[in-house]
Homo-oligomer: A and B are copies of this chain.
């Protein structure tokens, strides 16, 4: 039996139920790494993961091999797998590429995107705002729901172009950056006022001014990265002080 032909909204159903175990393991591990449940540098021992997820070694190893190509896992011959380490240099590298590729993607979207693309943006923004309002009014901390809405909004902005590769790369880089955001977010739990920034971003994109849109996107990405970098430096500072106090 094949998967039903109904279009799957990946933002709603996290994963189809009839996926192979490799795909499930891939999705689970990826999520755990991006969300920071598995920490940078952490050893990924097959037998432990096996018990944790109830999946045997072969599909796990295959999933881990896929993740190495996405810079989320490192594999060193005969020394097993690890969660990819993080560093300020790597963040820099990541953000630099993100800016280049997201500029390209938003420019292509503005040039090629139709009404459906614009509608996707408006819808995604609406849902993101709703969630942020809920968080503000109910004094809820940032949550998975917001992260998903946030991701959807950003991807919607870039989804108007034809290039599949570009879209995939942007998504991958976004998630890699998301991992950094989460790791550094242990400090500041509540949302900055990102809502205004996202509104400005959307307006620029919907006005179809490629220069303005690219510029605001760059600002947004760079500002976020700066916050993350500062948090990382602060953490390193704290860690260093704690160590030297011993």
Contact = CB atoms under 8 A, between A and B. Distances in A.
Q: Is the interface of A mostly helix, strand, loop or mixed?
A: helix
Q: How many of these chains are in the complex? A: 2
A63 B63 CA distance: 11
Interface stretch (A19-27, A122-130, A205-213): A19-27
A165 B163 CA distance: 20
Nearest to A105: B100
Interface residues of A, number: 30
A164 B93 contact: yes
14 contacts: A58-B61, A63-B65, A65-B66, A66-B68, A66-B69, A69-B69, A71-B165, A93-B164, A93-B166, A94-B165, A97-B163, A97-B169, A100-B104, A169-B169
A140 B229 CA distance: 55
Nearest to A77: B20
